[in-house]
Chain A
């Protein structure tokens, strides 16, 4: 029989205002096994914790029940207090009589009755508790960052500066992400390249950072502190260690008509290319879909001109195995495809462009060397219409239900910069709402209206129709004037919704990290743990977690790095002992549990069993890796034989709680 102490907390008036705490401690003192029962104003205070410690010693308690707030709040506090008094921390149970009782009830008698019942259930559970020991697992002191945009770069630099090794895996030939394609950046209008390229170079030169460019994560095994990752280095047909980035090959390659993805197809590159001048690493890559040598063995020019002898037409994909203690996902975003939005004429006219294309058209390194020219005829546009919310805030199924969060601000930037450089241009912005809640953001947007004379019109564009003479007929609502407008525009810019990178979903599956219905990675807690995934050891940085501008991305990147550093600074991790365990005698090896385990914690062993007649029999049984298991309990429900049980939350403990609640007194 356990010797149980019950401690009822008032939580000031939070609990005592609705629950008669004296009646609760009185009633629970008569429960079987209870040898001590009191109530106190703040159990979590130092004095309150001392009450628990003293009672454990004075009354030789073997179990403790605290009737207080949610275990999320203070379970750890009381476990520590119990441990310091010599009691196994897992002999402490919390009855949540605040969130689940006092806060949601008004009537004192019924709330008091419920508090007593909840206390009784916790007592019933403690009777079946057994001491549990937390295990330990070592931590590999290296981090993996997947995605080398500004998010991944900042996270990697911060981790490396703390002295830990970091690998960046970037699927493109260079790191830098979307920010490399931007021109100037709100809210301060500094040039994107000027603030980004130094960071890219820092990554390349940092002795603790190792960049795997043109690479992808192929396989992930293991668990927090101990991830085993296979990285695929895609063949780029150029030896990275030899290439000096001189660009001799890219000048000589005869295949000139390859759409240049860096400029979103608005100009061409060669079959061998370096994405842009400041690429990191500055190494050429051959595009096998276009290279004559790789397609039909006829050419080899680049190998001839390359002074470093770096060209290697026989290069194959390489697979590298690495181990990590922590993984940061920083896979970013992309603008959505506009197939569902024919009304804006994107596919019908070259002069209807996305905002990202607009960035390239105004960027000095872009296809027009920074002069804003119409893609169709290379003329200066005199009337430009910007359309916000294209594909965002859309519940019709064509677009995305969320607000893409960055487009109001970059549209204000585009409109403002256009008016500054080309004051003879008429600029219209059609908006549903202007969302500018960041620091100095509303001021920025107002400048576009007040100083730069951008026409902001509340209403949406319904139709963009290209006319034979090259003009774009824009039909739109002006809701405040109560008019339908018809504007002859030269250029239409669509503030296109953004979505997570398409590779994020398969990556999430590999990492067993959860995602929302939009394929953004979900955080462990929306408010209190925003940079951690619910899967231990996986962290989130940048737009892969939700739409974000650069200031927010960089803040989050630093926060993720801090969490990683906190983890890598430890030599060993204590593991949660409340994990699943299979009863080998009952397990029939059916694989049901493995299929439901979201963490991949379950494997099967062929095990020898001694039979009653002294023969041996080999049976396949489930085995749980306690370091990987997160104690979610999915397997215990799936097991048809009742062989899986969760330590600390066993089926019998839960049934005892249910019985205690159902028992009428």
Chain B
């Protein structure tokens, strides 16, 4: 199971985790570091070890801002954010999972929230 998941993450992300030299520059750059249970460099290593389920269950995947700072700074061209994105996608694509229900929306609304954000949120988090 974990091998298959790892294979899937590597394929969707196109990342070669073996290029990582464990410098931690990605995590040194990450603006969401303090919010995260697992940090960008840990994503790389945990994917290498096949610990995909742990990552899928972690709130860290929603804390990533997709700012791509880690991708920009990594000296080995590893692209950790693409792993986060791939794992996020795997969670979303699971059958029968629903993270956002229309009933929740009204209480989340405020004046400044653009319409576009709601649409995007549905695309990302709802079936």
Interface presence of A394 (CB below 8 A): yes
Give the contacting residue for A462; candidates B30, B34, B76, B77; CB below 8 A.
Answer: B30
Stretch at the interface among A181-189, A350-358, A471-479: A471-479
Interface presence of B19 (CB below 8 A): yes
Instruction: Judge whether B28 and A463 touch: CB under 8 Å.
Output: yes
Interface presence of B100 (CB below 8 A): no
Instruction: Judge whether A475 and B21 touch: CB under 8 Å.
Output: no
- A395, B21: Cα distance in complex, Å: 11
Q: In the complex, what residues of A have CB within 8 A of residue B33's CB?
A: 484
Interface presence of A133 (CB below 8 A): no
Max count, chain A CB within 10 A of own CB: residue among B19, B29, B74, B76: B29
- Beta-carbon contacts under 8 Å, B18-64 to A: 19, 21-30, 33-34, 39, 41
Chain B interface bracket (under 10, 10 to 19, 20 to 34, 35 or more): 20 to 34
- Closest residue of chain B to A343 (Cβ to Cβ) is B73
Q: In the complex, what residues of A have CB within 8 A of residue B73's CB?
A: 343, 462
Interface string of A307-344 (1 = CB under 8 A from B): 00000000000000000000000000000000000010
Instruction: Judge whether A460 and B76 touch: CB under 8 Å.
Output: no
B49 to chain A, nearest CB (A): 16
Interface presence of A558 (CB below 8 A): no
- By secondary structure, the A interface counts as loop
- Closest residue of chain B to A483 (Cβ to Cβ) is B33
Interface presence of A393 (CB below 8 A): yes
Interface string of A116-140 (1 = CB under 8 A from B): 0000000000000000000000000
- Closest residue of chain B to A395 (Cβ to Cβ) is B76
Give the contacting residue for B34; candidates A389, A461, A484; CB below 8 A.
Answer: A484
Interface string of A361-377 (1 = CB under 8 A from B): 00000000000000000
Interface presence of A398 (CB below 8 A): yes
Instruction: Judge whether B76 and A396 touch: CB under 8 Å.
Output: yes
Q: In the complex, what residues of A have CB within 8 A of residue B29's CB?
A: 343, 462-463, 475
Interface presence of A432 (CB below 8 A): yes
Give the contacting residue for B28; candidates A395, A396, A475; CB below 8 A.
Answer: A475
Q: In the complex, what residues of A have CB within 8 A of residue B25's CB?
A: 460-462, 477
Q: In the complex, what residues of A have CB within 8 A of residue B14's CB?
A: none
Q: In the complex, what residues of A have CB within 8 A of residue B24's CB?
A: 432, 458-460, 476-477, 479
Instruction: Judge whether A462 and B21 touch: CB under 8 Å.
Output: no
- A389, B22: Cα distance in complex, Å: 13
Give the contacting residue for B75; candidates A393, A459, A475; CB below 8 A.
Answer: A393
Instruction: Judge whether A477 and B28 touch: CB under 8 Å.
Output: yes
B98 to chain A, nearest CB (A): 33
A461 to chain B, nearest CB (A): 6
Besides the known contacts A460-B28, A462-B26, 4 further A-B residue pairs in the complex with CB atoms under 8 A apart: A397-B77, A432-B22, A460-B24, A477-B25
Give B contacts to A, CB under 8 Å: 19, 21-30, 33-34, 39, 41, 69, 73-77
Give A contacts to B, CB under 8 Å: 343, 389, 393-399, 432, 458-463, 475-477, 479, 482, 484
Can you name 29 A-B residue pairings with CB atoms under 8 Å? A343-B29, A389-B75, A393-B75, A393-B76, A394-B75, A395-B19, A395-B75, A395-B77, A396-B74, A396-B75, A396-B76, A398-B75, A432-B22, A458-B24, A460-B23, A462-B25, A462-B26, A462-B28, A462-B29, A462-B69, A463-B28, A476-B24, A477-B23, A479-B24, A479-B41, A484-B27, A484-B28, A484-B30, A484-B33
